[in-house]
Amino acid sequence: MPPNMEPPAPAPPLATPARLKWAAGLAYLAAWAMLPVEGDVPWWAVQPELRHPAGWLAMLNFQSVVFGGLLAAAPGAWLWRGRLLRRGLHGPRVFGGQGRGGTAGWSQSRICHAGCAASVGLLSLAASACVGARFGDLPPAYHDEYSYLFQAQTFLSGQTAFASPPLPRLFDQMHVLNEGHFASRYFPGTGVWVAPFAAMGRPIWGHWLAGALAAVCVFYTGCELAGLGAGLLAGVLTALSPGMALFSNLLLAHHPTVFGLSLFTLACFRMRRGSGMVWALVAGCGLSGAMLCRPMTAAGFALPFGIDLLRWACTRSTATGEVVNCARRFALIGLMALPLAAALTALVAYNRSITGNGWLTPYQQYLEIYTPRHGFGFNNVVRGERHLGPRVLDNYDRWAENLTWPLAVQNVEHRWLASWQWTLGEVPLAWACVAGLVLWAAMPRGSRLVLAGIVSLHAVHVPYWYDGIMHWHYVFESGPLWALWLAIVVVRLESAWRSEHRQTGIFWQRSLIACAIGLNWVSWTGGWQSRVDRGVQELRFARETYGRFRDLVQHATAGRKSLVLVEADPADRHIDFVNNRPDLQANILIGRYLPNQVSFEEVRRQFPDRALYLYRAKTRQLMSLRPNTP
């Protein structure tokens, strides 16, 4: 055995009949408890006076009725020792002892695995394209998306930043620094990922690809942990996750990050199984890519893996008493750290090129100048108000809530439940979460790291006041981990039920998952609106608002070189029409209407060759400010 290989470990024992009953019973109660949440109205949006049995009954919808029917049928399905299903998913496998190299975990041919991986990737692409088709050519929905696109366009010009333009206050853009350097506030990883696709005119394709690659990584990780059946289920659940499909059509940092972290997870398990140096470098590259997109998320996700790798490296002997080479294992960890060191060096250089200080990120500088109340940590508003400056975006900055422990606990609840909602559904994931915890001793060792990664990712975001887009985007990267956890629990339960000849229990569990997937994707007029459709509807409002503005401006300017000054609507802090390419060379430029800061004469002198327009966002009126010029 190579000295760096994780020693072969016996497969976890099947759950005893008593433990299986406890797991099924407690998971059953947890699923019933989640049934009222599994509807159009989430727990936190329900009026307090309706939080009683009669109130819940009045709120039941089709989704609740379907899951309620399945839960009502569950006891009979578990107790009947029928032969409804002759075969189930593949039996349990465990990472560390059953991988490639002729071992049991990879007894199927490589062609079979490659075919399954390709199918999972294509399914993910199809899901992303299906959602994308609903938006057509509408522009992005969030401030952040325009900033990431700004960053990608900056990189395509061969620069990390442009000089601030003349009359800089005119072109202040949300989430873009404009203090001598004109640059996105965000970390550079997402801009690097998006840039080649932006050059093709299809920036969103990069996110579709990242989602497909992440699903493939989840498939292979599931195979490492619990066999082909678990890998295929985890990959399919990731590909068909409503949250993954929706966010793959948002130009945010999450999809490049989730691909990097999924690659890191797979490579960690492969490295420990004995594939050594190559996978150590791959793990480091995956984590480095994620760190360059979302450092806090990468750190929270990877923390349990790092602790376990140190424990693994310090272990001097295997369970069978065989002595291992600890120095070789530490060398592998050092090899994994090389890409991280390179990424940190690149980040320091990037910071210096924009802020002048390698250890001051554009993100932090933007926060200090424009939105001090939005800072990380408790009492953010109180602390931020001590550092208000002349450039604070007062209306947007006042959106922040002061973080206290009650608010932090509420945010954790929102994020946890919403992560279930947008991964598969509250009922099936409550079922899997509780069943897996009760069957802890029968779960593969790697699955414990999966759950630890979820908990750690939530924990590092506790000291932030905002629960996130759709109540969860700060813990978006936990979605693939939940898919892995559910797949492993399903395999363990099916193995136990199969050994007791309870095939109807297997059929019930598969029906639960199939119904959750169907309800997430299938709608019918007048009867049911799927979760994906509800998400599309939520995102469509902002996209259509930006789209109407774009079409109105294009029609009014009729191809002339123009500058449109926007008078913002103070009642709407989340729609901002001032979005430009970083070189400000587009045919139509969008600026801010600031008569108290920039006079109309100054604007006219600076842009003598452009037709000037004024757009009043509150009334949606566009008017010409002077005769058009050639």
How far is it, in rounded angstroms, from Cα 32 to Cα 187? 42
On whether both 487 and 568 belong to a single domain, the answer is no
Which residue(s) pair with 589 in the sheet?
Answer: 563
Read off the pLDDT of each residue in 148-153 and give the average, rounded to a whole number.
97
Percentage of residues in the chain with pLDDT exceeding 90?
69
On whether both 298 and 443 belong to a single domain, the answer is yes
Read off the pLDDT of each residue in 72-79 and give the average, rounded to a whole number.
81
Is the model more confident about 323 or about 467? Answer: 467
The answer to whether position 143 is within a domain reads no
The answer to whether position 285 is within a domain reads yes
On whether both 238 and 282 belong to a single domain, the answer is yes
Choice among 65-69, 172-176, 294-298, 476-480 with the minimum mean pLDDT: 65-69
| 359, pLDDT greater than 90 | yes
How far is it, in rounded angstroms, from Cα 505 to Cα 511? 10
pLDDT in tens, 595-613: 989 988 899 999 999 999 9
- The label of the residue with tokens 């699923």 reads 31
DSSP class of residue 524 equals B
Residue 162 in 3-state DSSP? strand
On whether both 506 and 578 belong to a single domain, the answer is no
Query: Pick from 500, 522, 544: which residue ends a domain?
Result: 522
Residue 95 banded pLDDT, cuts 50, 70, 90:
very low
Number of domains the chain is built from? 2
Can you read off the two tokens belonging to residue 279?
Answer: 């996978």
| 79, pLDDT greater than 80 | no
The answer to whether position 152 is within a domain reads no
- The label of the residue with tokens 């100048």 reads 369
Query: Pick from 471, 506, 522: which residue ends a domain?
Result: 522
Do 156 and 196 contact (CB within 8 A), yes or no?
no
**Neighbouring C-beta atoms of residue 109, cutoff 10 Å:** 9
On whether both 562 and 477 belong to a single domain, the answer is no
The answer to whether position 578 is within a domain reads yes
How far is it, in rounded angstroms, from Cα 272 to Cα 450? 15
Do 445 and 390 contact (CB within 8 A), yes or no?
no
Residue 46 banded pLDDT, cuts 50, 70, 90:
low
How far is it, in rounded angstroms, from Cα 582 to Cα 586? 9
pLDDT at position 301, please?
96
The answer to whether position 170 is within a domain reads no
pLDDT in tens, 547-590: 999 999 999 999 899 999 999 998 888 899 999 999 999 999 99
Query: Pick from 498, 522, 546: which residue ends a domain?
Result: 522
Residue type at 251?
Answer: L
For residue 297, the enclosing domain spans 17-136+204-370+404-522
How far is it, in rounded angstroms, from Cα 505 to Cα 295? 42
| 320, pLDDT greater than 60 | no
On whether both 570 and 515 belong to a single domain, the answer is no
On whether both 450 and 577 belong to a single domain, the answer is no
The answer to whether position 248 is within a domain reads yes
Read off the pLDDT of each residue in 272-278 and give the average, rounded to a whole number.
79
- Of 151, 153, 157, 123, which Cα lies nearest the Cα of 253? 151
- The label of the residue with tokens 């294992």 reads 329
What does pLDDT average to over the chain?
87
Per DSSP, helices labelled H in 80-171 are 110-135, 143-156
The answer to whether position 99 is within a domain reads yes
On whether both 125 and 29 belong to a single domain, the answer is yes
Residue 365 banded pLDDT, cuts 50, 70, 90:
very high
On whether both 518 and 564 belong to a single domain, the answer is no
Q: Is 559 exposed, middle or buried (0-12, 13-18, 19+ CB in 10 A)?
A: exposed
Is the model more confident about 61 or about 131? Answer: 131
With residue 261 as reference, give the H or E element that holds it. helix 254-270
Residue 521 banded pLDDT, cuts 50, 70, 90:
very high
Residue 233 in 3-state DSSP? helix
| 85, pLDDT greater than 60 | no
On whether both 254 and 331 belong to a single domain, the answer is yes
On whether both 308 and 445 belong to a single domain, the answer is yes
How far is it, in rounded angstroms, from Cα 548 to Cα 80? 59
Read off the pLDDT of each residue in 30-59 and give the average, rounded to a whole number.
61
Do 264 and 297 contact (CB within 8 A), yes or no?
no
pLDDT in tens, 429-457: 999 999 999 988 888 888 999 999 999 99
Which residue(s) pair with 567 in the sheet?
Answer: 616
The answer to whether position 489 is within a domain reads yes
